[in-house]
Amino acid sequence: MAIFTIDDVEKTFKSGDVSEKILKGVDLALNEGEITALVGPSGSGKSTILTIAAGLQKATGGQVLFEGKDMTQMSQEEIRKIRSSEFGFVFQSSHLVPFLTVEDQLLLMLDVAETKLNKKQQKQEVSKVLDLVGMSHRKDAYPSSLSGGEKQRVAIARAIIHQPKMLFADEPTASLDSKRSKEVMEIIRNLTKTLKITTLMVTHDEEMLPYADRIVMMKDGLIE
């Protein structure tokens, strides 16, 4: 069953008089609980379709259906609500909040997602998730004192702590060496499988492909 459907999505960027059609009618259906890897040459539009799907930018044509509802017709506020409670994000950089400890980063996400947990439950949830990503021992550390791989693990924890339905990841391992990349991918795979999170992930790295359930190739603004 497809929980998320991208239907004939187009995106045209205009700068001045020049307009360039980057996405030329992308169709893609994501099955619940599956990890879909999106691969393809640089500039083919992978990040663009991922951010449109994640509600971070608007398509110029087509539909994006999440649980049957068309996100292209929603208001900014409706999309924000979905992003905060139903989606999780991991990017090439971890983008952690510099002045919050690892634990506080996750508590913040629980607040933003408006989960109905009290303070104590929130803390329990945080320590549970930190265990899952193997970062419990650094819960009081600030991002500046973490290694790249550790940061990325915290970013993953932040992306899934509020138990979203969807996880969007754009080259989550690109800043990591091969060993760390594999660790991070293991974590992503284990978490999304246990929590039944549907994942769309862009990657350049062939070594990451075995972790996906499905591989989709993109070229020149189209799915092949």
Partner 1 sequence: MQMAWKEVKKSKMKFLILGSIIFLVSFLTFIISGLANGLSEDNAALIKNVPNGQFYLNEDAKQTYNLSKIDVDQQDKLLADYNGATAMSIQMGFVNDTEDKQHSVAFVTSTDSELFPNVKDNEVVLDASLKDEGIKVGDILTNNQFSGEFKVVGFTEKQTYSHAPVAFISMKNYQEIYRVMEMQTVFIPGSDSPDSIKGLESFNNKEFLNTIPSYGAEQMSLNMIIWFLVVISGMLFAIFFYMMNVQKIGLYGILKAIGVKTISLFSMMWYQMLLITAVSLVLSVGLSQVFSMVAPAGMPFSLPLETSLLLSGVFLVIGFIGATISGFQIKKVEPLQAIQQGEM
Ligand X SMILES: Nc1ncnc2c1ncn2[C@@H]1O[C@H](COP(=O)(O)OP(=O)(O)OP(=O)(O)O)[C@@H](O)[C@H]1O
Question: Minimum CB separation from ligand X for residue 199, in Å?
Answer: 17
**Residue 85 contact, options Mg ion, partner 1, ligand X, none, Cβ 5-8 Å cut-off depending on partner type:** partner 1
**Residue number with CB closer to ligand X (45 or 143):** 45
DSSP letter assigned to residue 214: E
| Cα dihedral 87, 88, 92, 97 in deg (nearest 10) | 120
Q: What does residue 210 show for φ and ψ, rounded to 5 degrees?
A: -60, -20
The site that binds Mg ion (CB under 5 A) totals a number of residues, namely 1
**Residue number with CB closer to partner 1 (74 or 100):** 100
Residue 199 as a binder of ligand X (CB under 6 A): the answer is no
Q: Which of 4, 6, 35, 44 binds ligand X (CB under 6 A)?
A: 44
Instruction: Candidates 1-9, 62-70, 84-92, 201-209: pick the segment binding partner 1 (CB under 8 A).
Output: 84-92
| Closest residue by Cα to residue 125 from 136, 137, 138 | 136
The amino acid occupying position 58 is: K
Residue-wise over 77-86: b if at least 16 C-beta within 10 A, else e?
eebeebbbeb
Q: Which of 47, 101, 152, 181 binds Mg ion (CB under 5 A)?
A: 47
Sheet holding 61-66, edge to edge: 18-31, 2-15, 61-66, 69-70
Query: Positive or negative, the Cα torsion across 182, 170, 4, 129?
Result: positive
Instruction: Candidates 25-33, 39-47, 77-85, 110-118: pick the segment binding ligand X (CB under 6 A).
Output: 39-47
Residue 122 as a binder of ligand X (CB under 6 A): the answer is no
Residue 13 as a binder of ligand X (CB under 6 A): the answer is yes
Residues 33/60, Cβ–Cβ less than 8 Å: no
Alpha carbons within 13 angstroms on the beta-carbon side of residue 213 total 16
Instruction: Candidates 46-54, 127-135, 176-184, 213-221: pick the segment binding Mg ion (CB under 5 A).
Output: 46-54
Question: Minimum CB separation from partner 1 for residue 210, in Å?
Answer: 27
Residue 45 as a binder of ligand X (CB under 6 A): the answer is yes
Instruction: Give the DSSP H/E element, type plus range, for residue 132.
Output: helix 119-132
Q: What does residue 159 show for φ and ψ, rounded to 5 degrees?
A: -75, -25
Residue 42 as a binder of ligand X (CB under 6 A): the answer is yes
Question: Minimum CB separation from partner 1 for residue 82, in Å?
Answer: 8
Residue 51 as a binder of partner 1 (CB under 8 A): the answer is yes
Contacting residues toward ligand X, per CB under 6 A: 13, 22, 42-48
